[in-house]
Structure 1
Amino acid sequence: MDTVVKKLLHESGGTFAEEVGIPLKDQPAALFKLLVLTNLLSARIPSDIALSAARELFEAGGGTPRGMSRLTWQERVDALGRGRYVRYDESTASRLGDMAEIVQDKYKGDLRRLAVEAERDPKKAAELLQEFPGIGPTGVDIFCREAQAIWPWLRPYVDGQVKKGAERLGLPTDAGELAARVPDKDLARLTAALVRVARDKKLADAVKAA
């Protein structure tokens, strides 16, 4: 692992899921929470607000499909408001409820079934993910970047935002070459850090100055 990558992981090495307290495990609750976080991060809203809103929703009981469904629309709106996710709170509250219903109806509450239905093919997984309201190509990238820590068949998942961050630091933008810079277990952390670099020039400068 070279100096730039070591510095990057030290400065900003956690995944977005870890930052919210989501354990990166191949378990129904963890995968659903990641899907909720993905939905929140997909909107044009600062990531820190999306993370805060996710914490509030989970604390309110929305950390499982059944729990999210049991929350009333107003309870979801209120949780989003406490997280300062106010610009899209009403539409997002509806989407989250619909999303939870789909997870329960189609996947029996367990998103590991999505991996099975996708035949562990990233392209098929992307199509299935976009069946959830509020998740488009950007959401697919968010979910798969994080989920590659859980589902090895997604690796290496390197999207445009990751490549932008890599380019800023003079790192390779080729997925295979970039993945080779870290052990497999650290790839999701590296891609999350590079997304932060893509969005934050000051962070990029701090890493390069090391």
Structure 2
Amino acid sequence: MDAVVKRLLRDAGRTYAEEAGIPLKDQPGPLFRLVVLSNLLSARIGAEIAMAAARELFEASGGTARGLARLTWQQRVDALDRGHYVRYDESTATHLGDMADLVLDRYGGDLRRLAIEAGRDPERAAELLREFPGIGQVGVDIFCREAQLIWPWLRPYIDGLALKGAERLGLPADPKRLADEVPDKDLARFAAALVRVARDKKLAESILKG
């Protein structure tokens, strides 16, 4: 493994799900929490704030589709505010409630059914994810980058932002060549680390210096 890649994984190789307190498993609860986190991270707001807001929602019983749907709009707003997610709190509270309803109505609260409906095809999965209120292409990229840890059929998922991080480090700007740099089990945290580098020039510089 390239020395730069080793330092990258050492210094920044933590998935956003892990940081938000979501132990990813191929189960309804963790998958729903990941799509909530993806929704929150999609906004033009700091990742730390988005993850704090996610933790507040989960603590308020919003970590499952049924639990989030049962929260009132005001309870969702209050949870977001406790996480300092204040700029987009009202619109996001609406999106999250509508998303929970859609997950319940279409997938019975279980996003493993989305994988089945998509035929485990990444492009079809992206189309289905974009049907969720508040999830655009940015949210799709976040979800799929992280979900490749437990859904091997998404691998390798290295989106444009991750490629920007790779470019900063002088790594191959091609998803398949990049994926060859790490074992499959490390692809999710590798992609997350590349995104962190894309967003933080000082982090990139420190990794290059060694």
TM-score by length of structure 2 reads: 0.99
Displacement of 1:65 after TM fit? 0.4
- Please give the secondary structure, in 2, of the residue aligned with 1:85: coil
Displacement of 1:24 after TM fit? 1.4
Output the amino acid matched with 2:144: C
Structure 2 counterpart of 1:114: 114
Displacement of 1:173 after TM fit? 1.4
Distance, in Å, in 2 between the alignment partners of 1:98 and 1:127 is: 17
Output aligned runs, 1:153-192, within 5 Å. 153-192=153-192
Structure 1 counterpart of 2:53: 53
Residue 26 in 1 paired to residue 26 in 2?
Answer: yes
Output aligned runs, 1:94-133, within 5 Å. 94-133=94-133
**CA-to-partner distance for each residue in 1:87-123, whole Å, 9 max, x for gaps?**
0001100110000000000000100000000000011
Output the amino acid matched with 2:154: L
- Please give the secondary structure, in 1, of the residue aligned with 2:22: coil
Aligned positions, number: 210
Percent identity for Structure 1 against Structure 2: 72
Output the amino acid matched with 1:6: K
Output aligned runs, 1:86-97, within 5 Å. 86-97=86-97
Distance, in Å, in 2 between the alignment partners of 1:52 and 1:64 is: 17
Structure 2 counterpart of 1:72: 72
Distance, in Å, in 1 between the alignment partners of 2:145 and 2:8 is: 17
Structure 2 counterpart of 1:40: 40
Displacement of 1:197 after TM fit? 0.2
Distance, in Å, in 2 between the alignment partners of 1:118 and 1:48 is: 31
Distance, in Å, in 1 between the alignment partners of 2:39 and 2:7 is: 30
Output the amino acid matched with 1:46: G
Distance, in Å, in 1 between the alignment partners of 2:170 and 2:112 is: 36
Displacement of 1:153 after TM fit? 0.4
Distance, in Å, in 2 between the alignment partners of 1:27 and 1:194 is: 26
Aligned-residue Cα RMSD (Å) equals 0.5
| Residue ranges of structure 2 left out of the alignment (5+ in a row) | none
Output the amino acid matched with 2:188: A
Structure 2 counterpart of 1:17: 17
- Please give the secondary structure, in 2, of the residue aligned with 1:49: helix
Distance, in Å, in 1 between the alignment partners of 2:87 and 2:3 is: 40
Once superposed, which parts of structure 1, at least 4 consecutive aligned residues long, lie more than 4 Å away?
none
Distance, in Å, in 2 between the alignment partners of 1:40 and 1:169 is: 28
**CA-to-partner distance for each residue in 1:124-169, whole Å, 9 max, x for gaps?**
0010000000111111111100011110000001110010000000
TM-score by length of structure 1 reads: 0.99
**CA-to-partner distance for each residue in 1:12-41, whole Å, 9 max, x for gaps?**
111000001111110100000000000000
Output the amino acid matched with 1:165: G
